Amino acid sequence: MEGNLKPPLIALDGPVAVGKSSVGSLLAKKLGYVFFDTGMIYRAFTWKVLKSGVSAEDKGKLCELVTATEFNFVPSKEGVLSVFIDGEDVSSRLLSPEIERLVAVAAKVAEVRQAMVSEQRKLAQRGKVVMAGRDIGTVVLPWAELKIFLTASTEERARRRHLELSRRGENSSLETVLADLKKRDEMDINRAISPLKPAEDAIIINTENLSLEQVVDKICTLAASP
Ligand code: C5P
């Protein structure tokens, strides 16, 4: 499979809980690429914001904090990246409700985004990367050879996220999950800088009635076609 591949960079964008991580990690595994979920870097920074006691609304403090933060990414054997902040592996701590609530607030700040974009581009230089996020096709890697934008209805995404949370033993109601998801979508779509939207040359895949394997197979076919 690897021999036929054209694009060394695949941009995978879409809203909250559309399946970017599941699709991206399986896709990367099949293609022998590394998967980088850029939501992790925004979450990792938010983890530091919380740890430092800085308000996520305080732009000045966020700018100082992001400049003073050292990010590092280490691929696992499975091709998924672990995120290190100032030398500490924080990858397993990034799905907490506190981070979930604040991450889109910190992600609105221009200087924070600039720092994140530069980290993401450094990483993309290695090639053979599937990079997932909100602005990968539009801002981070507009030169990516293949750009995919995943969609699914808000209700379906809330259902998927609710299931995922229940599996992890977190028991939020479906209504709460739906309300949080709508709020984060709203912030991601309407922010002034790098809002969530498909790149003009992105291929849109509605995942609503497709299995994970079907979505990944579709993208593999696109990646292999001239
Ligand atoms: O994808 P995930 O839900 O982990 O992303 C967390 C948050 O990080 C998003 O809601 C968004 O505010 C921000 N984000 C972003 N740009 C990206 C990836 C994530 O603004 N490329």
Sheet holding 81-85, edge to edge: 71-75, 81-85, 88-89
185 alpha carbon to ligand 1 midpoint, in Å? 10
User: What whole-number percentage of the chain has pLDDT above 70?
Assistant: 97
Q: Which position has the higher pLDDT, 6 or 181?
A: 181
pLDDT digits (tens, 9 = 90+) for 159-196: 999 998 898 888 889 999 999 999 999 999 999 999 99
Our mutation pick for probing the ligand 1 site, out of 12, 38, 96, 148, counting the most ligand atoms within 8 A of Cβ, is: 38
Tell me the pTM.
Answer: 0.92
β-pair type (203-206, 71-75): unpaired
Least confident of 3-17, 108-122, 201-215: 3-17
pLDDT interval class at 2 (50, 70, 90): very low
Topology given in CATH for the domain delimited by 7-214: Rossmann fold (3.40.50)
SS3 141: coil
d(CA 101, CA 180): 8
Map out the domains of the chain as residue ranges: 7-214
pLDDT digits (tens, 9 = 90+) for 56-76: 999 999 999 999 999 998 887
* Cβ within 8 Å of residue 117, ≥6 positions away: 139, 140
pLDDT at residue 226 is higher than 90: no
Closest CA to 2 of 220, 216, 226: 220
Our mutation pick for probing the ligand 1 site, out of 21, 23, 46, 103, counting the most ligand atoms within 8 A of Cβ, is: 103
- Say if residues 131 and 9 touch (Cβ distance below 8 Å): yes
Ligand 1 contact, 191 CB (< 6 A) = no
d(CA 135, CA 197): 7
